[in-house]
Amino acid sequence: MELNQLTIKNAKGGLKAKKFSSVELTKACLEQIKKHNRELNAFITITEEDALEQAKKADNLASQGQAWETKPLLGIPIALKDLFSTKGMKTTAASNVLKDYVPEYDATVVKKLKDAGAIILGKLNHDAWGHGASGENSDFGPTKNPWNKEYVPGGSSSGSAVSVASDMCIAATGTDTGGSSRQPASFCNIVGLKPTYGRVSRYGIISMASSLDSIGHITKTVEDSALFLNVTAGKDANDATTSSKPVPDYLKDLKKGIRGLKLGISRKDLENVDDEVKKPFLFAEKQLKDLGAEIIDINLKYSDYAIACYYIIQPSEVSSNLARYDGVRFGSVRQNFGEEAKRRIMLGTFTLSAGYYDAYYRKAMQVRTLIKQDFENAFKQVDAIISPVSPTLPWKLGEKINDPLKMYLSDILTVTANLAGIPGLSVPIGFSKGLPVGMQILGQQFSEAKLFQIGHAYEQTTEWHKMKPIL
């Protein structure tokens, strides 16, 4: 196995045992980027010199022997979605409006990752401002799915998923406002996490929709996802929405197994899922039963209204957040917004305007409360809920780009978690027509440890997560 193909856990073990250095590990990732980024378009900015300098410092620290206790990601090369502010490093939001913007500070998550010893390889492509489910709305060109370059990798965290799936980095950050970490992870056969709203700080992340944004990550295994969240989770004085609830060790109960756990399935929601996705999901259900879980049918009666509710609230918050980009204080002129950004600004401004606020926005917020209550009632019966991540397989590049409604409907199974503020974990469950399929595990607020427990148990009985695309 090449060094860049390692998981966080295995890379960390190799570094500690001095089987290789952080410089060697970082060079292996950079070499993979040089080979394949031109074709896949995962990175917007590559910081080779700085990454190698960081790696040298990590090796010096590691030689002292004690650093691992305080720096759990020491020497591990990762990459950042280009919505994360990075001091002295270009942060574009994948938009021409910010194509030359260089922040004066690090986002809280970036600071935590640096403090943990992670090596930053660069910034990743995505749908501009996080607006999209395909990776095609970037002003820097679409990202390609490494399993079939004629297909989309999902979005908006397209570059995050592609960089991890193609072993350009060991792990990557992502954001999830309506499925933007889970869906591309599903489309690229890797693991994606949307934490509980407020579990990870949003400070320094370029906002999309502030009441829906969750700061997650994309990894090669469930265990790596738990390792990563151990670093990024926690209260932040700079973000009033972060929770003061103590952060557990997410690795503690990882290997407990799932015998006796109750997992819920909303059969009604499966009616909207293509057979190519439904078959692997039903087989995964059987595997979870074989592991000792009890499957219980549940009724999420308001899920039919979720997509309409989401696409009222989200554009409303988008129009408010993007209003600051006026070309006066920073960034370029508003004419440089892409088509999708303009569409969401107009939709949101209309929804919030006099005479329409009560009819649309207030009503959507009331429905959001009902969706949240739906989940609260379901979690009185079950420990977690499982469903496919996407109702379809990845689609061809260009197939939906001129049909925004069809594109929005691809989020139908993921937006509910953001509306309710609950965590969701996407894990690989197979392939159809040579393209990956994922399952999401949803839990009640702050139940990430339980999701990791379920995801890890499933992952250990399958080989899907070990499969690599032929580049």
Which H helix or E strand runs over 432? Answer: strand 424-432
Spot the catalytic one: 81, 144, 194, 220: 81
| 41 contact partners, CB below 8 Å, separation of at least 6 | 125, 140, 141, 142, 143, 144, 159
Spot the catalytic one: 156, 163, 316, 390: 156
Rounded CA Rg of the chain: 21
266 included as an active-site residue: no
22 included as an active-site residue: no
Q: What would the DSSP string read from start to end of 21-46?
A: -HHHHHHHHHHHHHHHHHHH--EEEE
Instruction: Count other C-beta atoms under 10 Å from residue 15's C-beta.
Output: 23
Rounded-to-integer distance, Cα 419 and Cα 313, Å: 9
Q: Give me the residues paired with residue 386 across strands.
A: 441
186 included as an active-site residue: no
Instruction: Count other C-beta atoms under 10 Å from residue 470's C-beta.
Output: 5
Phi, psi of 160, rounded to the nearest 5 degrees: -60, -50
Rounded-to-integer distance, Cα 421 and Cα 310, Å: 13
Rounded-to-integer distance, Cα 352 and Cα 316, Å: 6
Spot the catalytic one: 21, 134, 157, 180: 180
Cis before 156? omega within 30: yes
> Is the CB of residue 367 less than 8 Å from the CB of residue 305?
yes
**Catalytic site residues?**
81, 156, 180
